[in-house]
A and B are shown apart, each in its own frame.
Chain A
């Protein structure tokens, strides 16, 4: 199972909002050459700004894998789960292209086709590259990318270049074989199953070599790392430093997803995933070294749509076969949509440039402490989702320095299956627990019952900024808290929290 986009990870703190070209965005994007920025500006998995506007889909054409990870179970047919490595049906390259074209016709935001599994794309070279070849003939505007464990990467780099692949994601969980031995029980290498430390050593060497070769060819490399508490949590900072030094442009630290019902080694042996605070701590530690991705949703290997949504069920093979598609009209709609987004962002950049000047005035109030706020959004960088309908919340940190996206919290469990999977916790209880650490929730609307439950938990519901741009609204709420004196004494406040 590979992580698209996880999979999948950059930048402007929030697209679609008036501050999208300053604050964290600019900081995170800082140092990226203009050519790189242009390559990622329409890729939702690589650009935080793009993820508010553009949609991606994953083609599940790659069922075979050449390694075993302890967070993966090769049974991958659960329709109720949303996590990497899980798909409902494996497609042939022809079926995958047909489905991609159908999605591209129905969703003009569609800009990227990724292959991320359910196994490893490069352990299924023929199927993966056949998919790219067929799609490039019919929809040359759609960007192609792959997410790989890296074992077969060095021998595939030439072919990736030939297919004009601009982005590759490598999942690198460690650079130390002793740690690797706790994550990978075996690999298939040169016609043998290799186990333990020896396996990890080979895998790590191949990943690093592949990374260097891609960078040398000018292909953008994002590195995904799964944060496994007690295994590699203290190690990822070193991973970040090394992959950055070798030229990876983005590092995406993702939380381990492990539950007994997944049937994975970690799930069954009680290995826990990180808390939101632990994840943020590691992401912050790594961020000192390089651009971090905070908007990754750890999609299914057959996900369709904007990040955080999955419209895959609308595009089953049966439904796709029944669709009549005008490919030229579809292409024209996609290009028109991109043009519209470009113009919109350009206008916002100009507006933001004006705001930056205002920020340089000396602050009238003393420094306030940073505050986490949750936001319910359906996309376009706007607070436009009803609290009760939100399947996830984006979490922003507001401080004197600006507003930045630091992650997302899902309200649904990764498995949305039968009630028997549940533990009896009510939905609102779960959401309140999910939002731990946040002091406000900004949404379009909210019911009275959840309103009072949130207030009782010390989280302030806010609908005053409905339909406003996220960053500007978060900044406004923070300033209001500051003016009321709620953020004055950082030390006391922290103790209270």
Chain B
């Protein structure tokens, strides 16, 4: 059980200091979570900390590859505008 950061990450660093397991590290091209250290904050906090501050929808996923912050959940943009708000460096 572990969370994962995917390539839409914009390297804002916000998650790194919040991780109670110190499982997040800066890397190229984006931050990474050490799967062996991540416990999804169970026992520490009610919500996974990285996913609670991450500003990018879809950038953090669970073991089933499901985004913890699905498209539209943070910006409240309607679906037809989702493509436009994606970072240029993200998935094509």
Contact = CB atoms under 8 A, between A and B. Distances in A.
Interface of A: 63-66, 68, 73-77, 90, 119, 123-124, 126, 185-186, 188, 191-193, 260, 263-265, 268-269
Given A64-B13, A73-B85, A191 B49 contact: yes
A124 B45 contact: no
Contacts of B76: 185, 265
B47 A268 contact: no
B10 A124 contact: no
Given A186-B74, A260-B84, A192 B10 contact: no
Contact of A75 (B14, B75, B81, B88): B88
B57 to A, nearest CB: 10
Nearest to B53: A188
Tell me the dominant secondary structure on chain A's binding face: loop
Given A77-B89, A268-B77, 16 more contacts: A63-B13, A64-B13, A68-B75, A75-B89, A76-B10, A123-B14, A124-B13, A188-B14, A191-B18, A191-B45, A191-B49, A192-B52, A260-B84, A263-B87, A265-B76, A268-B84
B55 interface: yes
Contacts of A269: 77, 81
Tell me the dominant secondary structure on chain B's binding face: loop
Contact of A90 (B11, B45, B49, B89): B11
B14 A191 contact: no
Nearest to B46: A192
Contact of A63 (B11, B53, B75): B11
B56 interface: yes
B55 A65 contact: yes
Contact of A65 (B12, B18, B45, B77): B12
Size bin of chain B's contact surface: 20 to 34
B66 to A, nearest CB: 17
B14 A263 contact: no
Nearest to A120: B14
Contact of A119 (B14, B18, B75, B89): B14
B77 A265 contact: yes
B82 to A, nearest CB: 10
B14 A66 contact: yes
24 contacts: A64-B12, A65-B55, A68-B75, A74-B12, A75-B10, A75-B87, A75-B88, A75-B89, A77-B89, A90-B11, A90-B13, A119-B12, A123-B14, A185-B75, A188-B14, A188-B52, A191-B47, A191-B49, A192-B52, A264-B85, A265-B75, A265-B85, A268-B77, A268-B81
Contacts of A77: 89
B43 to A, nearest CB: 13
Contacts of A68: 55, 74-75
A74 B53 contact: no
Nearest to B44: A191
A90 B13 CA distance: 10
A191 B55 contact: no
Contact of A191 (B10, B52, B56, B74): B52
Nearest to A264: B85
A181 to B, nearest CB: 11
A133 to B, nearest CB: 18
A74 B10 contact: yes
